Amino acid sequence: MNDVFAGKHLVLGLSGGVACYKSAMLCRLLVQAGATVQVVMTEAAEQFMTPVTMQALSGRAVYTSQWDAREPNNMPHINLSREADAILIAPCSADFIARLAQGRSDELLSLMCLARPIDKVPLVLAPAMNREMWTHPATQRNLSRVQYDGATVLGVGNGSQACGETGDGRMLEPEEIMEELAGVFTAKTLQGQHLLITAGPTFEAIDPVRGITNLSSGKMGFAIARAAKAAGAEVTLVAGPVHLPTPHGVTRINVQSARQMLDAVQSQVGNASIFIATAAVADWRPAEFSDQKIKKDGSGDVPAMAFVENPDILATVAQSDAAKYGNLYCVGFAAESHDLLKHASAKRLRKGVPLLVGNIGPATFGKDENALLLIDDNGTKELPHASKDALARQLVEEIAQRLPTVQGV
Ligand code: C5P
């Protein structure tokens, strides 16, 4: 997701709330991702976080007053809002939402929101408040109002709150806000599409403590899930055993074995319009599973082990389910160690998919970068070495262009 923010200029507005502590990390992440961040704080926000901290993290003096004489024209609300690619209010308190709903403008942050060029500068709100305040009809009414007026309102988290109560109203985590904000800067080329994607390795159990797996990290598949979500798709991610956080707003189904992965995919494929198989599915599994741990008996003999072939999830979906469900666009991956074009082209025909994405497996397993070779009926296209996030976004665009409904427009 990161290079979405490179070169972007964001105004990060803090209103009063305990969640201001998360905004320090959010600011840091945005700066690390290449954005310039101008922090604006309300008087209430200064009770929770000092401008000193936010200045240090953003590298820019914080604005707190509409009477700030540092601006030559003495109009910080105009200047700040004209420079911004987006204004993000995090945390956005119940009071601040009420102020926006009313179009109030008696302090810098609300004044700046009101003064922003409404068609050019998106306003994104990350609410944070006590659960009763969140569900109160006045807050919900104000939220509807500000959405109607063009603001993007992010969801809230559920859990224990600083007040000791438990429920809805926590501000999203900084990483989640980053993902949502990336969506604001992404064209909605997959709006209305439902993407089903497999990712990660499978684990084929030998006995209760052992099994066969592989080095797939799941990073490419998770990056595609994130990019597709940002492009407006509904996303269901069937994940093998990986330690990666679920992209915000993505439905995740965890599985272990190839057969569980096939079951999960087949239970979801009826709702999907795109299926992408990035998972490194084990080709074979032990023919027998031992209920008990296989013990060393001291004789030096090794246990005999027979294997059976796993179902090919992609081929099954592409060749039978796709026909059953009509307009399902299937994309396969091929991790090769050599002769990428030759092997990947053959694989595309064997699997029966319109688009096959080749990569050099050993060069990319576990890494944050990759390079892709796209193969379809019309030939090949290289997506050169880049971060998996950047490649995922490019791949999503390539898929969007190839969808039958889009081609027909
Ligand atoms: O045959 P190979 O494993 O190289 O094929 C790779 C492609 O097929 C990937 O898209 C992978 O997710 C998919 N695949 C699958 N089920 C298998 C094996 C591979 O879906 N059993």
Per DSSP, the residues of 25-79 read HHHHHHHHTT-EEEEEE-TTGGGTS-HHHHHHHHTSPPB--TT-TTSTTS-HHHH
**404 against 49, higher pLDDT:** 49
Where a domain ends, among 163, 185, 207?
185
3-state secondary structure of 383: strand
DSSP H stretches of helix in 156-281: 174-184, 219-230, 258-268
Ligand 1 near 17 CB (within 6 A) = no
Task: Please check whether residues 177 and 199 belong to one and the same domain.
Answer: no
Contact 69, 27 (CB under 8 A): no
Residues 178, 267, single domain; the answer is no
Q: Which residue has the tokens 């944070």?
A: 128
Report the nearest atom of ligand 1 relative to the CA of 198.
12
Q: Is 26 left (phi over 0), alpha (psi -120 to 50) or beta?
A: alpha
Residue 250 domain-assigned? Answer: yes
Atom of ligand 1 nearest to the CA of 311: 21
Ramachandran class of 15: left when φ > 0, alpha when ψ lies in -120 to 50, beta otherwise:
beta
How far is the C-alpha of 225 from the C-alpha of 239, rounded, in Å? 11
pLDDT score of 185:
95
Q: Is residue 408 part of a domain?
A: no
Residue ranges making up the domain that contains 348: 194-402
Predicted TM-score (pTM) of the model is: 0.90
Q: Cα separation of 88 and 177, whole Å?
A: 10
State mean pLDDT over 251-259.
Answer: 98
Minimal-distance CA residue to ligand 1 atom 2 = 334
Question: Binding site for CTP: which residues?
Answer: 283, 293, 311-314, 333, 347, 351
| Coil, strand or helix at 357 | strand
| Residue 380 and residue 251 in one domain | yes
Q: Which residues of 26-63 are buried (b: 16+ CB within 10 A; e: fewer)?
A: bbebbbebebbbbbbbbebbbebbebebbeebbeeebb
Has residue 219 got a pLDDT over 50? Answer: yes
Is the peptide bond between 91 and the residue preceding it cis, with omega within 30 degrees of 0? Answer: yes
What's the gap between Cα 216 and its chain centre?
19
Average pLDDT for 234-247:
97
pLDDT at 239: 98
Q: Which of 156, 185, 214 is the last residue of a domain?
A: 185
Smallest CA separation from ligand 1 atom 6, residue: 334
Lowest mean pLDDT among 121-135, 194-208, 228-242, 395-409: 395-409
pLDDT digits (tens, 9 = 90+) for 365-383: 778 899 999 999 999 999 9
DSSP state of 271: G
For ligand 1, is residue 313 a contact (CB within 6 Å)? yes
* Residue 191 Cα to ligand 1 middle (Å): 27
Using the 3D structure, point to which of 138, 162, 185 is the last residue of a domain: 185
Rounded Cα distance between 316 and 28, Å, is: 45
Are 52 and 177 in the same domain? yes
Alpha helices in 168-306, H assignment, sequence order:
174-184, 219-230, 258-268
Cβ of 199 less than 6 Å from ligand 1: no
Residue 279 CB less than 6 A away from ligand 1? yes
pLDDT digits (tens, 9 = 90+) for 112-148: 999 999 999 999 999 999 999 999 999 999 999 999 9
Using CA positions, which residue lies closest to atom 21 of ligand 1? 312
pLDDT mean over 379-402: 96
**Is residue 312 in contact with ligand 1, taking CB distance under 6 Å?**
yes
Q: Is the distance from the beta carbon of residue 217 to the nearest atom of ligand 1 less than 6 Å?
A: no
Say if residue 409's pLDDT is above 60.
Answer: no
Do the beta carbons of residue 178 and residue 1 sit within 8 Å?
Answer: yes
- The residue nearest atom 9 of ligand 1, judged by CA position, is 333
- Co-location of 224 and 339 in the same domain: yes
- pLDDT of 202 over the 50 cut: yes
The CATH number that applies at residue 155 is 3.40.50.1950
The pLDDT score that the predictor gives to residue 2 is 59
The verdict on residue 409 lying in a domain is no
- To test the pocket of ligand 1, the residue of 281, 309, 351 to mutate (highest count of ligand atoms within 8 Å of its CB) is 281
pLDDT of 25 strictly over 60: yes
Nearest ligand 1 atom, CA 282: 21
Pairing status of strand 251-254 against strand 234-239: parallel
State residue 218's pLDDT score.
Answer: 95
220-240: average pLDDT? 97
- The tens digit of pLDDT for each residue in 305-344 reads 999 999 999 999 999 877 677 789 999 999 988 899 999 9
Q: Which residue of the set 20, 92, 113, 163 is catalytic?
A: 163
User: In the predicted model, what is the mean pLDDT of residues 207-222?
Assistant: 95
- Write the CB contacts of 347 (distance below 8 Å, at least 6 apart in sequence): 332, 334, 356
CA–CA dist 10, 157 (Å, integer): 23
Question: Mean pLDDT across the chain, nearest whole number?
Answer: 94
